[in-house]
Structure formats: C-alpha cells, structure tokens
Amino acid sequence: RKEVEQDPGPFNVPEGATVAFNCTYSNSASQSFFWYRQDCRKEPKLLMSVYSSGNEDGRFTAQLNRASQYISLLIRDSKLSDSATYLCVPRGFQKLVFGTGTRLLVSP
C-alpha cells in the first residue's frame, strides 16, 4: 500500500460548486497533516494544516478521520482561481511523503 494515496482527477466542476477530495495515508503514527496547493509550473504552497479533527478557513474545510486514516478537503463556492493541483502530506517522523495530488479544474 502506498504511503499516501489521492485520486489524481481531474475533477471538473462549474463555478460555485462544492467539491471534496480525499487522501488516505498508511502511517498511523502521523501527527499532523497538510494540504498544499500547486499551480502549473510552480512550487507547492501551504493551503491548510490539520492537527486534530479538522480545520476551516473561509471556503476551505479539512477533516481528519484517524480511525479510517484519511483526510479530506472540501471547497465550497468554487472559484476559477481554485483551479490547481491539491497535494496532501501526513507529517510523521522526519520523512515527508506527498500524495500524487488531485487536479481541480473549475470552469465558468
């Protein structure tokens, strides 16, 4: 089993839609979790951190399910500018392994 798994997508949604991505992880010792956003030909940048059950920041909500070992990212009222690849990374010990990312395309 891969350390981190994500559906690569793409998820094609219209503006204003709500969309959710999941990310499963295999290391049960992971303590914290991060969602990164990566635009085409750019480096990843931090979107959200999750340390307990979840976190909310405006239109973005991240939920953690430790029992099933997955984290989710919910985006409400999608904007064209949300089009990007979303990467999840569980933070355990020193090693930092990213998922392959989920590509989101928001259309007018």
Instruction: Give residues in contact with another protein (CB under 8 A).
Output: 8, 31-32, 34, 36, 41-46, 49, 51, 87, 89, 91-101
* Residue 61 or 92 with smaller CB distance to another protein: 92
Nearer to another protein, 56 or 77 (CB): 56
Q: Cβ of 91: how many Cβ atoms within 10 Å? A: 17
- CA dist 48 and 2 (Å) reads 22
Identify which of residues 1 and 108 has a Cβ nearer to another protein in the complex.
1
Residue 80: strand, helix, or coil = helix
